């Protein structure tokens, strides 16, 4: 009888705990985390697109395109170095095989400042994505 109710009770406890944690976070932080996760997804697409384009440029021996792609890669790495996580949210993204990078913990920021930072970071990676498409 106990086994019959154990899993549903455990699931309900997990759901209630997860929901209560989100309610303690401000709307600004939740929006900041959403922007952060969107930035990470764009970054992953940019990195994979860059990798494909570099291989193609190498195959075609297109040194000018390869040079532009290398410069873009440098900018992407600078973007990565400046990335910070939104406090209170789990590290929720995937990496290529063997690849891992660390995120700096956020310095003391207001929720509004964190949102602005994440929106600016998203705009920056979107600009790099646009640059990749023009190469």
Distance CA 30, CA 111 (A): 9
Rounded Cα gap, residues 132 and 129, in angstroms: 5
Look at residue 116 and give its three-state secondary structure.
helix
77-86: pLDDT as tens digits? 999 999 999 9
pLDDT at residue 90 in the model? 72
Position 88 confidence tier, pLDDT thresholds 50, 70, 90: confident
Q: Measured at the alpha carbon of residue 13, what is the angle toward residues 11 and 16, in degrees to the nearest 5?
A: 110
Cα(124)–Cα(56) distance, rounded to whole angstroms?
25
- pLDDT, position 12: 43
Mean pLDDT value of segment 49-55: 97
3-class SS string, 51-66: HHHHHHHHHCCCHHHH
Buried b (16+ CB within 10 A) or exposed e, 14-30: eeeeeeeeeeebeebbb
Portion of the chain with pLDDT greater than 90, in percent: 64
- This model's pTM is above 0.85: no
Alpha-carbon span 71 to 111, nearest angstrom:
33
pLDDT of residue 102: 52
Q: Higher model confidence: residue 50 or residue 23?
A: 50
Domain ranges of the chain: 28-134
pLDDT digits (tens, 9 = 90+) for 40-49: 999 999 999 9
Q: Is the pLDDT of residue 24 over 60?
A: yes
Which pLDDT value is given to residue 106? 61
């Amino acid at each position: 009888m106990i086994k019959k109710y154990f899993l549903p009770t455990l699931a309900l406890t997990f759901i209630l705990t997860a929901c209560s944690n989100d309610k303690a976070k401000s709307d600004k932080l939740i929006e900041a985390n959403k922007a952060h996760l969107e930035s990470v997804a764009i970054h992953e697409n940019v990195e994979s697109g860059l990798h494909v384009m570099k291989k193609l440029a190498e195959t075609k021996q297109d040194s000018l395109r390869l040079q532009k792609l290398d410069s873009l890669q440098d900018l992407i790495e600078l973007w990565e170095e400046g990335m910070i996580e939104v406090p209170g949210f789990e590290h929720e993204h995937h990496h290529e095989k063997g690849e891992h990078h660390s995120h700096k913990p956020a310095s003391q920021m207001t929720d509004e400042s964190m949102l602005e930072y994440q929106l600016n970071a998203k705009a920056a990676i979107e600009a790099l994505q646009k640059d990749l498409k023009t190469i």
